[in-house]
Amino acid sequence: DAWVGFGRSSRPTFPRDPEGAEDEFVTSIETWRETMGIPTMILLGHSLGGFLATSYSIKYPERVKHLILVDPWGFPLRPTDPSEIRAPPTWVKAVASVLGRSNPLAVLRVAGPWGPGLVQRFRPDFKRKFADFFEDDTISEYIYHCNAQNPSGETAFKAMMESFGWARRPMLERIHLIRKDVPITMIYGANTWIDTSTGKKVKMQRPDSYVRDMEIEGASHHVYADQPHIFNAVVEEICNSVD
């Protein structure tokens, strides 16, 4: 259903150091691939998933036919000049200031039975994005119950995170380690708070490899939900070109 430690997946104990936590996630992808009997695959990752899919592709390039990164988190180096930092949404800054050093979703666990209402209040966009499929509060309740559990993957994410939006081990410093024959497509929402210039920087670091970057208009960070028809068409095009 999700990464190990998130969603409805199991909640193992992760290493507390950034490299160890990252390796644990990467190993879980490889274990899943082996269990499913998949020799090679088109690997798509969104946000933190894009960061981890890239890490996997560095370690297991022979398993990846095409790497698709959707609004990937954790690529750029944190700028030394504060004016160069692209501001995250207001709700992200508000939650970060309230939680301080706590895990990112600690407020949901403290909220108890008020949790689903809290999700709806602070992230009404989630319900709107899936309005075509659910008329009730299914999405808000699902998000709450997934994230109100033991913060296993969340703790691992915090270990890899320098501050919200920045990775302790930025992927731009390692992207060149992916084998040259692994094609990469980077898909961003035109209105995202993620740094979209990363795609061009990846192209510069991989001049002899296939790297395509694109932005989807009318989409923010959750590209697949904001513009599902366009997003699905792009992914289908990539899958057809590979197969």
Backbone conformation region of residue 239, classed left if phi is above 0, alpha if psi is from -120 to 50, else beta:
alpha
Which pLDDT value is given to residue 109?
41
Which pLDDT value is given to residue 200?
94
Please check the confidence at residue 44 and state whether its pLDDT lies above 80.
yes
Nearest partner of 182 among 59, 65, 75, judged by Cα:
65
Residues 222, 70: Cα–Cα separation, whole Å: 9
User: Residue 13: what residue type?
Assistant: T
Please check the confidence at residue 33 and state whether its pLDDT lies above 80.
yes
Top pLDDT among 205 and 9 is at 205
Question: What percent of the chain has a predicted confidence (pLDDT) above 90?
Answer: 43
Which pLDDT value is given to residue 86?
60
Confidence of residue 113 (pLDDT cuts 50, 70, 90): very low
Which pLDDT value is given to residue 18?
77
On average, the pLDDT of the chain sits at 76
Confidence of residue 16 (pLDDT cuts 50, 70, 90): low
* Strand stretches in the chain, DSSP E: 41-46, 64-70, 161-163, 166-167, 184-189, 211-216
Please check the confidence at residue 160 and state whether its pLDDT lies above 90.
no
DSSP string, 170-232: -GGGTGGGS-TTS-EEEEEETT-SS-TTHHHHHHHH-TTS-EEEEEETT--S-HHHHSHHHHH
Write down all domains in the chain, each with its CATH number in brackets: 18-87+153-241 (3.40.50.1820), 104-150 (no CATH)
Q: Is 124 exposed, middle or buried (0-12, 13-18, 19+ CB in 10 A)?
A: exposed
* Residue 164 backbone phi and psi in degrees, to 5: -55, 125
Residues 183, 210: Cα–Cα separation, whole Å: 5
Confidence of residue 179 (pLDDT cuts 50, 70, 90): very high
Top pLDDT among 78 and 114 is at 78
Residues 78, 75: Cα–Cα separation, whole Å: 9
Which pLDDT value is given to residue 19?
87
Top pLDDT among 95 and 182 is at 182
Residues 222, 191: Cα–Cα separation, whole Å: 10
What is the sign of the dihedral through the CA atoms of 92, 167, 32 and 179? positive
